[in-house]
Amino acid sequence: MTTMEIEHSSEVLAGGRVHSGIAWAHLRWVRDYHGDQAVKELVAPVPQEGWISFESLIALDRAIERKFGRGRRGFLRELGRYSAHLNLSDPRDGFRGEAIHDFFYRAALLHARFQDFGTAAYEELDPTSGRMVHAAYPCFSPLYCASAIGYYEQALIIQHAIPTRVEETSCQCNGETTCTFEMRWA
């Protein structure tokens, strides 16, 4: 998704909170690729534990995209992949080695640990594909959806699969009732 496509989608920013770990993963990308000073120039401090407003996360992502993405296609997907890499790669966390469908079923169950709004449900389509459905979101943004695509791509890689397709097939930003992400892997 390009900056132009994002600017022409609708979003609602009020009405929910996300775990601050999501913002920290995105700030860690900034630090790892551009240094501590870049983080300081970007935003006011984000709490390491607890919750931040969805609106604050989107403001942070928008600032990161403007400063470092510069309209580059797929930049927000890169942030999502990096977030999954940080949060799912540690073998002590128990995410590696799980059967792929089991991993995504569990991810849907853990949804409420990372945001206090909406629901997530996973549906196995066949042995090498599935669908994650985000529903009843009072707040949404195309930036969040673009990042989610990258997150799901990297989650598949961490599960030793090769993502052949991860796409959003419906989106609340376009007036649809859910944000649905279909995944296929080899």
Mean pLDDT of 20-38: 92
Q: For 10, list phi and psi in degrees, rounded to 5.
A: -95, 160
Q: Greater confidence, 130 or 91?
A: 130
71 in the Ramachandran plot: left (φ > 0), alpha (ψ -120 to 50) or beta? left
Average pLDDT over residues 89-110: 80
Given a cut of 80, whether residue 44 has pLDDT beyond it is: no
Q: In what order do the strands lie in the sheet with 178-185?
A: 119-126, 129-135, 178-185, 163-170
**pTM for the structure as a whole:** 0.87
pLDDT exceeds 90 at position 87: no
Q: What is the mean pLDDT of residues 99-113?
A: 92
Q: Is pLDDT above 90 for 96? A: no
